[in-house]
Amino acid sequence: MSDGRIQSLDRTHLWHPYTQHALAGDHVEITRASGAYLYDATGRRIFDAISSWWVTLHGHAHPVIARAVADQASRLEQVIFAGFTHEPAVLLAADLVRIVPEGLTRVFYTDDGSTAVEVALKMALQYWENAGERRRLVLALEHAYHGDTFGAMSVSARGVFTAAFGDKLFDVVRLPDPSEHDVAAALEQELARRGGEIAAVIVEPMLMGAGGMRMWTADALRRVRQLTRQHDVFLIADEVLTGFGRTGPLFACNHAGITPDILCLSKGLTGGFLPLGATLASERLFQGHVSNDRARTLFHGHSFTANPIACAAARASIALLGGECDAERARIERAHRSAALRLSEHARVRNARVLGTVLAFEVDGESDYLDTLGPALREFALERGVLIRPLGNTVYFLPPYAASDGDLSDAYGVVLDFLDR
């Protein structure tokens, strides 16, 4: 049991993400985790209904991944990835190329989802620069979220996350929210008007996460891919959230049967064990940076690029996909669909929707990220042993695949109890 020392040091030294410390109380001290559960310093068990910010794929402390991490750490923990290579990175790249949509042949490793997006943007923009074409425009979706670094913020929606940095972000052409509008028709108009200036279109395929768990159709995604291919514009698919089965199939692009030119991965890539990002590109994009002129190099890298331990964790996580994992995801989706029907009957619930292992809905009230409903529901649920973190008035469940039907039923019940009060 904690003696209070950790909380005291936390208050004295730490700056937590997405936290207004003038309003926040003490942070919950977690001492261990297993499967779908976190355990705090008092021994209380907490059901992790959001996969600890969408990263924990199979479950916390999964023994297969833990063994892979320990084994790799005892042999090679880190090496510079410029001028050197190693087996975990090479074999992981081969694993990824095998399971992603066909046609993506090159893997560039980074540290997280935001940096995976940064690399994707730089790949696309520099390709055209190297080719001698001045294509500088990027098209992005309304309500998009791609990360908190400057390029990723630029292609994300403007709002409270970006307000302090607006004059430092590059301009993009904004396409309408595909969950509410005909995004393909709008894209077609922009391509007809400015196609020769456009370098890339970036989307969160099928599911726009932090923007409110907005779900859009496979047909719209397919039409976007057709138009970008027709006009020779690169399509960047940000699957940082949706990758590795979150929306049903292994990748959200599989819903539409498409291959983007660039695919961004992170979060569940290592099963939630370690930070790692990967940006996959077509051979054409890679060859566009291959030259005897060193100035055409993609000048990007990270100190921990292709960290061997993270790569080993990712290989172990990928090996767990398929078979039993497919059945677990299908079971979670069935539970979500049943809950969506039940939730839809509540007077305060709007637009209950399911995509694979994601269940989301809105609660009547302000549709602002800073709405007080989110913190109130978060605290109410935590007192009852459930971790959820609403996005404004959008409530969602995105559990690890180890979540049981009982876990899910209890979590749905906690939210309904809150709404009844």
In the numeric block, the tokens 């479950």 are attached to 59
| Residue 84, both tokens | 């050197």
Mean pLDDT of 375-385: 96
Top pLDDT among 294 and 2 is at 294
| Residue 194, both tokens | 């400015």
- Band (370; pLDDT cuts 50, 70, 90): confident
Exposed e or buried b for every residue in 218-241, given b needs 16+ CB within 10 A?
Answer: bebbbbbbbbbeebebbbbbbbbb
In the numeric block, the tokens 């009844």 are attached to 420
Give the tens place of pLDDT for each residue, 260-290.
999 999 999 999 999 999 999 999 999 999 9
1 pLDDT exceeds 50?
Answer: no
Give the tens place of pLDDT for each residue, 204-256.
999 999 999 999 999 999 999 999 999 999 999 999 999 999 999 999 999 99
Catalytic residue numbers, as ranges: 18, 145, 238, 267
pTM: 0.97
What's the pLDDT at 403? 98
What's the pLDDT at 192? 96
10 Å CB burial of residue 120 (0-12, 13-18, 19+) is buried
Rounded distance between C-alpha atoms, residue 75 and residue 308, angstroms: 9
- Band (3; pLDDT cuts 50, 70, 90): confident
Pairing of strands 45-48, 358-363: unpaired
| DSSP E strand boundaries for 145-292 | 173-175, 198-203, 207-208, 214-215, 234-238, 262-265, 277-282
Rounded distance between C-alpha atoms, residue 199 and residue 234, angstroms: 6
Q: Which domains does the chain have, with CATH numbers?
A: 5-61+323-420 (3.90.1150.10), 66-319 (3.40.640.10)
408 pLDDT exceeds 90?
Answer: yes
369 pLDDT exceeds 80?
Answer: no
368 pLDDT exceeds 80?
Answer: no
Give the tens place of pLDDT for each residue, 37-84.
999 999 999 999 999 999 999 999 999 999 999 999 999 999 999 999
